[in-house]
Amino acid sequence: MGTSDVFANLSDQLGWQEELYKDLHRRPELGLQEHRTSERIHQELKDLGLETTSIGGTGVVAVIENGEGPTIMARADIDALPVTERTGLDYASENEGAMHACGHDMHVAALMGAVRILVQNKNAWAGTYIALFQPAEENSKGASAMIDDGLVNKVPHPEVVLGQHVMPKPSGHVFTHAGPMLSMADSVHITIHGRGSHGSMPHLSVDPVVIASSVVLKLQTIVSREVEPGEFAVVTVGSLTAGTQANVIPDRAELRLNVRTYDTDVRNRVIASIERIVRGECEAAGAQDDPEFDYYDQFPLTDNDADVTDRISRAFDAGFEAEVLQPGAPATASEDFSELPDAFGVPYCYWFFGGADQEKYDDAARNGRLQEDIPANHSPFFYPVIHPTLETGTRAQVLAALEYLGK
Amino acid sequence: MGTSDVFANLSDQLGWQEELYKDLHRRPELGLQEHRTSERIHQELKDLGLETTSIGGTGVVAVIENGEGPTIMARADIDALPVTERTGLDYASENEGAMHACGHDMHVAALMGAVRILVQNKNAWAGTYIALFQPAEENSKGASAMIDDGLVNKVPHPEVVLGQHVMPKPSGHVFTHAGPMLSMADSVHITIHGRGSHGSMPHLSVDPVVIASSVVLKLQTIVSREVEPGEFAVVTVGSLTAGTQANVIPDRAELRLNVRTYDTDVRNRVIASIERIVRGECEAAGAQDDPEFDYYDQFPLTDNDADVTDRISRAFDAGFEAEVLQPGAPATASEDFSELPDAFGVPYCYWFFGGADQEKYDDAARNGRLQEDIPANHSPFFYPVIHPTLETGTRAQVLAALEYLGK
Amino acid sequence: MGTSDVFANLSDQLGWQEELYKDLHRRPELGLQEHRTSERIHQELKDLGLETTSIGGTGVVAVIENGEGPTIMARADIDALPVTERTGLDYASENEGAMHACGHDMHVAALMGAVRILVQNKNAWAGTYIALFQPAEENSKGASAMIDDGLVNKVPHPEVVLGQHVMPKPSGHVFTHAGPMLSMADSVHITIHGRGSHGSMPHLSVDPVVIASSVVLKLQTIVSREVEPGEFAVVTVGSLTAGTQANVIPDRAELRLNVRTYDTDVRNRVIASIERIVRGECEAAGAQDDPEFDYYDQFPLTDNDADVTDRISRAFDAGFEAEVLQPGAPATASEDFSELPDAFGVPYCYWFFGGADQEKYDDAARNGRLQEDIPANHSPFFYPVIHPTLETGTRAQVLAALEYLGK
Amino acid sequence: MGTSDVFANLSDQLGWQEELYKDLHRRPELGLQEHRTSERIHQELKDLGLETTSIGGTGVVAVIENGEGPTIMARADIDALPVTERTGLDYASENEGAMHACGHDMHVAALMGAVRILVQNKNAWAGTYIALFQPAEENSKGASAMIDDGLVNKVPHPEVVLGQHVMPKPSGHVFTHAGPMLSMADSVHITIHGRGSHGSMPHLSVDPVVIASSVVLKLQTIVSREVEPGEFAVVTVGSLTAGTQANVIPDRAELRLNVRTYDTDVRNRVIASIERIVRGECEAAGAQDDPEFDYYDQFPLTDNDADVTDRISRAFDAGFEAEVLQPGAPATASEDFSELPDAFGVPYCYWFFGGADQEKYDDAARNGRLQEDIPANHSPFFYPVIHPTLETGTRAQVLAALEYLGK
């Protein structure tokens, strides 16, 4: 039985799948609070006759056993973002201040569609398929919550883990390559302690505004002088806040930095350099108290295994009309996906699938207006077109699964 | 009749004056909203048989005519600060979020006491005494509000204007000198427009955090390189805020600067240099939009007239047991007081009087703990001791008045 | 006849070739002054029965016609560096202050060996071989001097141009890949005009030391914020000089910058940003006179043609025992080599060959001491080991030639 | 006998004195090399019948004892500067590269004239007059050389020491005041050690150009933030040099700073802050080696004693037609003069006398061209007009002496 047969009734399920997608889109929930979302996922899986397990709070796992064969795991993330939707869609968010602005609702609907196809076509494959619905990707807490809750011991050991993400690229296409797909990310909240004073008496102060400003300029030297030319590294000071009034020198300044890298050695050097620079600048200014460094939102590298990615790419090439495309420049988003395969010590493949209307995308590309006209993930205007995005995401999950499990 | 006679019954009025002071302290009102304060001032003046005039909204003026003689004006400011009182006094502020943290309540009570003495001792002087109660000194809007409301045409033309301020110096003493007493002050809110981007895509941004940081460092060169060595000038960036998240490059940065100078040419050069530096840094960074400069809280120089100050100092030397003291280094606070004499085109004298307990002050001075132990104006812990501060402020106003009006 | 036959008597010529190499090494001459070097090259070529032409002053070309067939060109650069040799070799430089510290003497000896082999093995090939000896590579003036002197019209039109460079990699190996091999380079001498003053009177100055310092810090933002992360770009301020005495503020500062890029758009943006930053900083500081920008030592990109490089790589793989190696990270040196094929509008291949003793190299690599123990080009300690470097360079030129001309 | 009598024959000596002045001007000698100058001074003193002593190498002292009375010392400095004279005077420097560009020749001629008057008018005074001719003022080594050579034990103990300096102010006038006359000065040569690299490999370097630039910007904060507003302090980086080529990152940067202050506490804080900033910036940049600080050209404060200056000012007021003038803003030059009185532990007075043609000066002042038209000390165009400058300097020394010694 060829893979094409399993998709014979794909169009039949689209009505159900679209309803599921729109329902999730209307009711976005922030990380670790995905109670209703989790509930609906449990219900859908049970409707397919599957047993479900809650892992890591709002995380959900279903294990589909189908005789002898390999075990693989596919993961979808389920959380939304604290963004106020401005798409104007008739199925726009009804939860004020929350929005599926990163398309995780599409990931859920696609994986659920793949599960349904696999359940309904058990004759086409053999082995064990683990569908994993992960909470709280955006704040990097969901994968670790599931792992901390005993994931590795609660489900069979997969030999490979699969993940996908919808992106502002042409709908109908999938994109992947071996090696680094998504960068590491580290955020750090730095507090610089100076000494406050009246604005007219700077000699009694250790001015944290000046220290912070000098830090910002010196941080530029990490990428410009310390990282090898051509090596990927970003050090962004996204936020700098100090003081509230013109005539009062505050006693502290706070910076929020975001670091992006693709190489652990580079990352470690960058982090060390940030701390060295901040400490050095505090000493240069005569600050009495040490600066503080609080790290958060830390994401690992997403680094596709060569062999797995080769197999899956070939499966995609065969199963889609178009070839798998290169994702282009390394994506600068980050993911906690890879924590899952790392917990099992197994390889993985992660791919993108397009969510932008092809015609609109091509127009924008021709006019050099991609950034203006094709809203990116996290934008209040971002949304995938439902068709053919939903079919593509579903088909990709099934093709990848059958590459390992197909008869 | 000597000046000592007029003070014969000074102690008799202290009960009334202390009640007035505590009532004002309990009910502080912010600038231009001093409705209850203004009401009470009107009533006190009327109780003395005086006619009152409202000028500049909550400003109050009473003109005491007493035959042929010079005309002089004495001014007290009446507004409070947006500070939450933490003194623990039993007469502490009952208006949440407002506090007489700069001692203007003491100025009102002292001037009112002086008015009462002058009214009750008309045989000791001749001429015209104008008691002016000014709103909104803290935001520099009160003096100009009174002038804009026609002050100069609504009251007789004084030949000199007098003002005083309570300070964290030993109670019982007055302090003044000819020449600059209080600096000019200018605040400016600067908005730097960059271009925002995702934190991982700095190449699509014009990073306002970096521009603002460079501006802060370059602003240091105004005092270090552009102002003549030894000339007084302060340029403080009291507030710098940009962005809220680590991984988003914001589209703007905002700075709040405070400038202190004693010379108009220096001030003008400093202001021009600030604008030149900010514009140059925006150009250096390739910012498309011009930075914005909004000036506020601008205070003129308080520059005591030599002759007036000489006369009043001698009157103080004679009328107080102790000599008038030097205020020490130029005070770094600022005042809109001088707008009043400037509106009339007449000279003025402005003096400080101490509000700190003498013993406590001496102890702190001996232990090098003046800054820690003697709260300064604007501190939530600041308060003048009532005695002898109230007598000193009252006596000073009377002595200064009689120097011009005394028989 | 296989290529191996042409190398049959390679070892016979080694004595002559080593003598030539050592002679050139002893008598290094700086760019455009390679009179003796040029003389010797003419003589060697004439000794082989070839006609020679001087092009671009000290440049030398010999055209070897050998019947019908393709025309190709091979280039060696011939100039030395202003370095004082410290190798201690018995054939070290006898020209004080000049040294073949970049190995161009090796390039000449290798190309001359290849010419000799080709002349002596005319039965093994057919077509036209142009041996081009180029002056003044180090200051980027030699290729253009030859082109300006009519190179394109003075020699037959080649279909491909070949070049090679000895590097501090293991001797016996060649290294190349399609695409960018050597970066673009641009140097710029920037003069910032301030206003001088006595050191104690900064208010009369526009301090160029401060401007230059701010420029240096702001230049860091080009790589850290303006260039896309992961894109290769280097902006180095190699020299900053201003003033001579502590107590005199100078009237100017001079910076010498070096820019390295692999993409013309990136290069153009970097250059534009440098000028924008310097001008912006001068304006921010209130400098009256415009800064000056003088560009020099500008090198084009060396960007190997894919097809040519593929052919030559296969020829090397076949003709050497070892495979062609990847040059690793993009080399950060620059070359004017590509100006020659660009003048003809033809593709090219440029490769490296190792000059370091294999055993010493391996030891250093094992001990993490490559930088300390294997002197790099331009170092006063740099020298290729003669054997097998000379054979490798000769063999590479012959193999590449026969790939196009071989029967 | 009045002081006017002693000047009766002042005009008689002018021919001799002018010849002496021109001779010194023609033969300027740098600090500690004033051999011919010293020789001539010995001879002149001997011609007056005085015994002379060499102290501190080229220093000369003559002690004139004239019975019971106070002992005072007057000092003239004798060294020239490494400046090439461009005055066009017919008595211009004949010693290439040396020039009396600071007017010390005038100091010598004036003091010698005073000595002659005192010797010739011994009936007008009583006591002991010590004429001290000090070498090497410009590099601050001369006073200490004399002290180290035992000055305090080799001459009688004076009760006051007098010094004067010719300035670009109107000739015929003297200028002084109690308190600080000349600032302290400290120069420091700072070496910052980074790590060099090829310009294209910044990641292998610790870039000293960037460190030095950051140091320069951070040094601005000493005056702008650390020194009390209005307090005199100057920190100038007069020289910054690093590297020679665009494409080589150097291994060090060198800065030469000059510090000017009027208060020892301020000076000490500034010096400490310089070191703290440089060390902090080196640490921030990850420099391995400590920076080096070499101090030189250190001058003490010249701080006129109130009582001495009051006496001498009154003597000048009486003895000159015009009143003593205020020197205006604190002069920013520095002197090692005060080391002499400090060695004896006695008070002193130091004054300026004008050297500029009165008419030319007034014209320049009217046209706001003082800086352009009246060359200042150290300029290759600087020279005092001989008349009346020579008389003024002579008369000032005599008047000051007779204030203490006059009968």
* A193 phi, psi to nearest 5 deg: -100, 115
Q: Which of D207, D218, D229 is nearest residue A214 as measured by Cβ atoms? A: D218
B230 vs C: CB within 8 A = no
Tell whether the model's pLDDT for residue D100 goes beyond 80: yes
Q: How far does CA A341 lie from the centroid of its chain? A: 15
* D225·A202 Cβ contact <8 A: yes
pLDDT at D332: 63
**From A259, which residue of chain C is nearest by alpha-carbon distance?**
C229
**Per-chain mean pLDDT for chain B:** 94
Residue B97 shares a structural domain with residue B144? yes
What is the C-alpha R_g of chain D?
A: 24
User: Would the annotation count A165 as a binding residue?
Assistant: yes
Q: Which of residues 293 through 312 in chain B touch A, CB cutoff 8 A?
A: 297
Residue B292 shares a structural domain with residue B312? no
D332 vs B: CB within 8 A = yes
Q: Give chain D positions within 8 Å (CB) of C213.
A: 212-217, 240
CB-CB contact of B173 with B392 (8 Å): yes
Q: How far is CA D282 from CA B391, C255, D235, D349, in A?
A: 58, 21, 19, 44
* Closest CA of chain B from D228, distance in Å: 9
Which of B184, B218, B221, B224 to probe the D interface (max D CBs under 10 A)? B224
Q: Give chain A positions within 8 Å (CB) of D286.
A: 226, 273, 276
Tell whether the model's pLDDT for residue A348 goes beyond 70: yes
The residue from C299, C319, C348 where one domain ends is C299
Long-range contacts at C319-323 (CB < 8 A, ≥ 24 apart): C319/C3, C319/C4, C319/C395, C319/C399, C320/C173, C320/C174, C320/C392, C320/C395, C320/C396, C320/C399, C322/C172, C322/C173
C221 vs A: CB within 8 A = yes
* D297·C246 Cβ contact <8 A: yes
Residues of the binding site of C: 102, 104, 138, 165
Residue B55 shares a structural domain with residue B168? yes
Mean pLDDT computed over B6-14: 80
pLDDT at A347: 98
Residue C60 shares a structural domain with residue C137? yes
Stronger pLDDT, B178 or D331, i.e. the higher one: B178
Mean pLDDT computed over C272-292: 97
Q: What percent of chain D has a predicted confidence (pLDDT) above 90?
A: 84
How far is it between the farthest Cα atoms of chain D?
83
pLDDT at A1: 46
Tell whether the model's pLDDT for residue B331 goes beyond 80: no
Tell whether the model's pLDDT for residue C198 goes beyond 90: no
Query: In this structure, what CATH number is given to the domain that contains residue A122?
Result: 3.40.630.10
* Closest CA of chain B from A136, distance in Å: 17
Q: For residue range A205-244, list pLDDT tens digits in order.
A: 999 999 999 999 999 999 999 999 999 999 999 999 999 9
Mean pLDDT computed over B95-114: 96
What is the C-alpha R_g of chain C?
A: 24
Q: Give chain C positions within 8 Å (CB) of D237.
A: 209-210, 243
Q: For residue range D9-23, list pLDDT tens digits in order.
A: 777 788 999 999 999
Q: For residue range D296-346, list pLDDT tens digits in order.
A: 999 999 999 999 999 999 999 999 977 788 776 555 678 999 999 999 999
Dist. CA D165–CA D327, nearest whole Å: 12
Q: Give chain D positions within 8 Å (CB) of B220.
A: 217, 220-221, 224-225
* Closest CA of chain B from A1, distance in Å: 45
Mean pLDDT computed over C132-159: 97
pLDDT at A330: 55
Dist. CA D184–CA D161, nearest whole Å: 19
pLDDT band at C1 (very low <50, low <70, confident <90, very high): very low
Residue B17 shares a structural domain with residue B134? yes
Residue B328 shares a structural domain with residue B306? yes
Tell whether the model's pLDDT for residue D88 goes beyond 70: yes
**From C199, which residue of chain B is nearest by alpha-carbon distance?**
B225
Report the alpha-carbon angle A223-A140-A326, nearest 5.
65
Write down the H helix ranges in C222-263: none
* Closest CA of chain D from B221, distance in Å: 6
Q: Give chain B positions within 8 Å (CB) of D231.
A: 230
Residue B216 shares a structural domain with residue B176? no
A161 three-state secondary structure: strand
* A240·B238 Cβ contact <8 A: no
pLDDT at C328: 64
pLDDT at B1: 45
Tell whether the model's pLDDT for residue C322 goes beyond 80: no
Residue B75 shares a structural domain with residue B149? yes
Q: Which of residues 195 through 214 in chain D touch A, CB cutoff 8 A?
A: 200-203, 205, 207, 210, 214
Q: For residue range C345-368, list pLDDT tens digits in order.
A: 999 999 999 999 999 999 998 988
ipTM of the complex: 0.85
pLDDT at C134: 98
pLDDT at D398: 97
Write down the H helix ranges in D165-305: 208-221, 264-284
Touching A: which chains, 3+ CB pairs < 8 A?
A: B, C, D
Residue B98 shares a structural domain with residue B139? yes
Q: Give chain B positions within 8 Å (CB) of D330.
A: 230
pLDDT at B4: 64
Q: Which of A225, A273, A285 is nearest residue D207 as measured by Cβ atoms? A: A225
Residue B53 shares a structural domain with residue B176? yes
A185 vs B: CB within 8 A = yes
The dihedral region occupied by D154, where left means phi > 0, alpha psi between -120 and 50, and beta the remainder, is alpha
Q: Tokens standing for A270?
A: 């960058």
The strand pairing partners of D179, in sequence order, are D304
* B88 phi, psi to nearest 5 deg: 75, 10
Query: In this structure, what CATH number is given to the domain that contains residue C278?
Result: 3.30.70.360
Mean pLDDT computed over C172-183: 93
A345 three-state secondary structure: coil
The residue from A277, A299, A321 where one domain ends is A299
Which of B221, B232, B270, B274 to probe the C interface (max C CBs under 10 A)? B221
Chain length of chain B: 407
Residues of the binding site of B: 102, 104, 138, 165
Residue D147 shares a structural domain with residue D162? yes
C216 vs A: CB within 8 A = no
* D230·B232 Cβ contact <8 A: yes
**From D197, which residue of chain A is nearest by alpha-carbon distance?**
A225
CB atoms within 10 A of CB A323: 11
What dihedral angle (degrees, nearest 10) is formed by the CA atoms of B112, B115, B121, B126?
170
pLDDT at D7: 85
User: Would the annotation count A138 as a binding residue?
Assistant: yes
* D229·A284 Cβ contact <8 A: no
Q: Give chain B positions within 8 Å (CB) of C231.
A: 203
Q: Tokens standing for B197?
A: 């981007």
Q: For residue range A51-69, list pLDDT tens digits in order.
A: 999 999 999 999 999 999 9
Tell whether the model's pLDDT for residue B35 goes beyond 50: yes
Dist. CA D239–CA D236, nearest whole Å: 9
CB-CB contact of D252 with D194 (8 Å): yes
* A281·D277 Cβ contact <8 A: no
Q: Give chain A positions within 8 Å (CB) of B82.
A: none
The residue from A299, A326, A343 where one domain ends is A299
Mean pLDDT computed over A326-351: 87
Residue C22 shares a structural domain with residue C47? yes
Touching D: which chains, 3+ CB pairs < 8 A?
A: A, B, C
* Closest CA of chain C from A405, distance in Å: 38
Model-level pTM greater than 0.95? no
pLDDT at B22: 98
A222 DSSP assignment: I
Residues of the binding site of C for Mn(2+): 102, 104, 138, 165
* D235·B224 Cβ contact <8 A: yes
**Surface-to-core class of residue B212, CB atoms within 10 Å of its CB (0-12 exposed, 13-18 middle, 19+ buried):** buried
Tell whether the model's pLDDT for residue B112 goes beyond 90: yes
Q: For residue range B263-310, list pLDDT tens digits in order.
A: 999 999 999 999 999 999 999 999 999 999 999 999 999 999 999 999
Stronger pLDDT, D349 or C200, i.e. the higher one: D349
Q: Tokens standing for A291?
A: 């600066």
Total domain count, chain A: 2
Touching C: which chains, 3+ CB pairs < 8 A?
A: A, B, D
Domain boundaries, position B168:
3-182+301-405
Q: Tokens standing for C198?
A: 């006595």
Mean pLDDT computed over B77-105: 95
Which of A220, A227, A262, A266 to probe the C interface (max C CBs under 10 A)? A220
* Closest CA of chain C from A136, distance in Å: 27
* Closest CA of chain C from B214, distance in Å: 8
D261 vs A: CB within 8 A = no
CB-CB contact of A397 with A116 (8 Å): no
B33 vs A: CB within 8 A = no
CA pseudo-torsion sign C335, C341, C342, C346: negative
pLDDT at D5: 78
